[in-house]
Amino acid sequence: MTDRYGVIGNPIGHSKSPWIHAAFARQTGEDMTYDAILAPLDGFDAAVRAFRAAGGRGLNVTVPFKLQAAALCDDRSERAREAGAVNTLRFDATGAFGDNTDGAGLVADITRRLGVTLGGARVLLLGAGGAARGVIGPLLRERPAELRLANRTVDKALDLERQFAAEGPIAAGGYDALAGRAFDVVVNATSASLAGLVLPLPRGLYAPRALAYDMVYGDRPTTFLEQARATGAATLADGLGMLVAQAAESFWLWRGVRPDTAPVIARLRAS
């Protein structure tokens, strides 16, 4: 029987996940379907129960249900626990297992596809929301020389510094504390680019050969990437690669097969 998967959220019409997983299934010859599921804002648990009762094997979870997904799991991965949010559910005889593949997706896109080494690098992470929280553990496990956090609301960044202090060299502050500092990798995990806003970043932020990475993606370079280009970043990347790489990580959790992300990213970009 064909195995059923899907992505659940509200809204969900914009999701690229059905297209991405259909491409992975074709590429790997896996016998599966993958649908977009719109859950009512007050009906997430019921929608998941109905999906499981109909034989569903796994779900991706998107806005605004990632925290509720974490609450309904019988068991969670370490990276889902530290992120405090679940974007992947797997259902089997032992129950519902929750994972968070965002951080692994970011690290895979930076190291494998873009060929940038995070080990020993000076890394700056902008933002302290859900996306930032999800990638800190995976970034620290790459053993950077330092992981600097900067956020508009400084207290949120300081909270994350405290949470992850035992995991590696992490320090947090506001944007004004970045003056005079240079980084090899700068990751934008704020949603400022979505609104076309420019972050108050000082000049001289980018070391020679530095990578600027925006988790936001779109048809055109984001405001953050435009600013990075103008202020000396050598390599620019948006979050489309992360989107496909986190999907590949979910696919691996469900099917035990790793799809090749490069052709899928290329086709998405072209379309």
Among the options 4, 21, 66, 122, which is catalytic? 66
Residue (6 or 250) nearer to ligand NDP, CB: 250
Least distance in angstroms from the C-beta of 248 to ligand NDP: 11
Least distance in angstroms from the C-beta of 162 to ligand NDP: 16
Residue (201 or 210) nearer to ligand NDP, CB: 201
Q: Are strands 58-61 and 88-92 parallel, antiparallel or unpaired?
A: antiparallel
66 is known as an active-site residue: yes
Residue (88 or 151) nearer to ligand NDP, CB: 151
Least distance in angstroms from the C-beta of 206 to ligand NDP: 19
Residue (72 or 199) nearer to ligand NDP, CB: 199
Least distance in angstroms from the C-beta of 218 to ligand NDP: 10
For residue 214, report the phi and psi dihedrals to the nearest 5 degrees. -105, 125
Residue (142 or 223) nearer to ligand NDP, CB: 223
Q: What are the residues binding ligand NDP (CB under 6 A)?
A: 102, 127-132, 151-153, 156, 189-192, 194, 197, 199, 215-217, 239, 242-243, 246
Residue showing the smallest CB distance to ligand NDP in the complex: 129
CA distance 181 to 246: 30
User: Which residue's entry shows tokens 């103008």?
Assistant: 230
Least distance in angstroms from the C-beta of 263 to ligand NDP: 18
CB 98 within 8 A of CB 77: yes
Kindly list the catalytic residues.
66
